Structure 1
């Protein structure tokens, strides 16, 4: 098998054949797709299995684009859905952002993207409103992922039916941190950091409209979302969602960077037999330094749109911190629901995430030096 099987025109044709649909709408997404495919072919060192999985995944993402346009054409009311985003929870990995997201999303007064629907956001033909087929596929997919990468569960708790990062919806724009997290594609990551993501975020809104349209009980509820990807486009997030506030979870990058490098290394092994942990560690050190510099710049210009959360506060009293943040972003805090989630979260914890900075060609002293600019502004 050869990476020649991975080409943009072939992927577009496969998606059309798979769905029987032809209209992608505005084809602006072809540029980021070409950048990604070029990097996958030249840098990712895909294994035979990795190539097969990647081709299947990219085809499925393109098929979802076709199905989105069909749904909007057949049901124009989708585009009338009013989406109100109360918060995008950001922060580097291992900073308490996932816990904060799942706590806030536990309230019945808000809504969030669920893991199964980020993977399968549109109904399959003939599927009922209970989304039974999509839920079963998502459950099976989560179980397969953990079998392929069992250590991932020690890093990030997977709940196939629980709140998950909305960046997975952005995967369908091919403008997403998912790709350089799953593959060794540094040139794609460099392109992403410089890209204008306005069109991608417009489509994120469209995906939220589709999810809300499918479940009318969500209407009137503010969305609480989360992903570190949004640090690559902070201004764009705030411009696209005028009611949104960025909830930034803060912890020393000297701890966060090696942790994320460990997770990325683990995932990359699914797709490549030739994974370079040192290159991955240094890539994410540079990547996060650049995104945090942009974050601090935007935060200085638009301070009223940010809520700061310290990792130590999330750890020491998560209930109180979630109540505080809820008030600042203007959503109700349901203490009973928050307490129920905390109890479930404690029961889900297992294993330990073991790594050192040196495993990835890094040192704590160098990381502290490289991120001194950020440490100085952490509240």
Structure 2
């Protein structure tokens, strides 16, 4: 979890490369029933193969799409895509200027959504269990509810320069606006998503202030990109999990197969959305004064 666009996808993929872990994969989130017959079939099930073929055709038709989100039918995907079944998700908020929904989603009781989340995973694990590795940046907003539904949860917070992350978030949401409205509402992007980015960090800090630092483990994007193996060894130590040869081999293979900017560089500027760094400084003052986050310019 974390502020959106801070490396949560990278962290999730690195964890998922360990064969001892189990992640909800894109194809099975979209087509969960019947659940896969065994763990050996998670990447070869006909539904997985059909999605891979579809994905290949989409990337061939629009190669630039790979710049925005490093996903695959057989990679782990975000909980947002099944928590949306309960209609409580920021994915709905991203479709346009929806101030009433924004007010709802940031103040509602998320218990039903997380209870559904648990049931969904129980269906998927019927024949293919394991230690679940799940990812969604906005888990950051509802930590009290998460620990109520999952008392043994272990939570990783991905840190990155919040100014870079905010620009990237606005860029990604602008694509959703293009798809649903025909053009991005840049004024709404500036108003809503700068606030949302800061709110993610603030709610985690509020939770830590109340419950202590050790309920959340910090992982820095700069460390993951500079030294993925060393960083993941440290993460495993903090989790109390065994670092195995199989984990290291799987993670190294994923790193080898997925170099940075594999599909091109995702380029964006705050100025595209009428945002200046000086406007963001008060929003992230608390966060940046508390955590030593590498700045990206």
The question of a shared fold, defined as TM-score above 0.5 by the shorter chain, is answered with yes
Q: Mapping of 1:62-101 within 5 angstroms? A: 90-101=1-12
Q: How many angstroms apart in 2 are the aligned matches of 1:349 and 1:179?
A: 29
Name the count of aligned residue pairs.
Answer: 284
Q: How many angstroms apart in 1 are the aligned matches of 2:90 and 2:131?
A: 24
The answer to whether residue 237 in structure 2 is matched with residue 324 in structure 1 is no
Q: How many angstroms apart in 2 are the aligned matches of 1:91 and 1:352?
A: 22
Offset of residue 147 of structure 1: 7.5
| Superposed CA RMSD | 2.4
Offset of residue 186 of structure 1: 3.1
**Residue pair 1:115, 1:160 contacting (<8 A) in 2 also:** yes
Q: Pick 1 or 2: higher relative contact order, CA cutoff 8 A, min separation 6.
A: 2
**Residue pair 2:155, 2:217 contacting (<8 A) in 1 also:** yes
**Residue pair 2:63, 2:263 contacting (<8 A) in 1 also:** no
Offset of residue 259 of structure 1: 0.5
The answer to whether residue 226 in structure 2 is matched with residue 313 in structure 1 is no
**Residue pair 1:279, 1:360 contacting (<8 A) in 2 also:** no
Runs of 5+ unmatched residues, structure 2? 293-297
Residue 208 of structure 1 aligns with which residue? 121
Q: How many angstroms apart in 1 are the aligned matches of 2:61 and 2:147?
A: 37
The answer to whether residue 290 in structure 2 is matched with residue 377 in structure 1 is yes
State the Cα deviation string for residues 251-302 of structure 1 (Å, max 9, x = none): 2211111111101111221222143123223211111222322111001222
Going from structure 1 to structure 2, the CA distance change for 1:128 and 1:317 (only over 3 Å counts) comes to: closer
Residue 22 of structure 2 aligns with which residue? 111
Residue 106 of structure 2 aligns with which residue? 193
Residue 150 of structure 2 aligns with which residue? 241
Residue 263 of structure 1 aligns with which residue? 172
Residue 296 of structure 1 aligns with which residue? 205
Runs of 5+ unmatched residues, structure 1? 1-89
Going from structure 1 to structure 2, the CA distance change for 1:128 and 1:344 (only over 3 Å counts) comes to: same
**Residue pair 1:116, 1:161 contacting (<8 A) in 2 also:** yes
Residue 68 of structure 2 aligns with which residue? 155
SS in 1 for 2:157: strand
State the Cα deviation string for residues 311-369 of structure 1 (Å, max 9, x = none): 22112111111111122223333111111111011187121111110111211121122
Offset of residue 95 of structure 1: 1.8
Q: Mapping of 1:111-130 within 5 angstroms? A: 111-123=22-34
Going from structure 1 to structure 2, the CA distance change for 1:342 and 1:147 (only over 3 Å counts) comes to: closer
The answer to whether residue 250 in structure 2 is matched with residue 337 in structure 1 is yes
**Residue pair 1:152, 1:263 contacting (<8 A) in 2 also:** no
Q: How many angstroms apart in 2 are the aligned matches of 1:148 and 1:279?
A: 30
SS in 2 for 1:270: helix
Q: How many angstroms apart in 1 are the aligned matches of 2:51 and 2:137?
A: 22
**Residue pair 2:2, 2:140 contacting (<8 A) in 1 also:** yes
Match of 2:85 among 159, 163, 172: 172
SS in 2 for 1:157: coil
Larger Rg belongs to: 1
Residue 278 of structure 1 aligns with which residue? 187
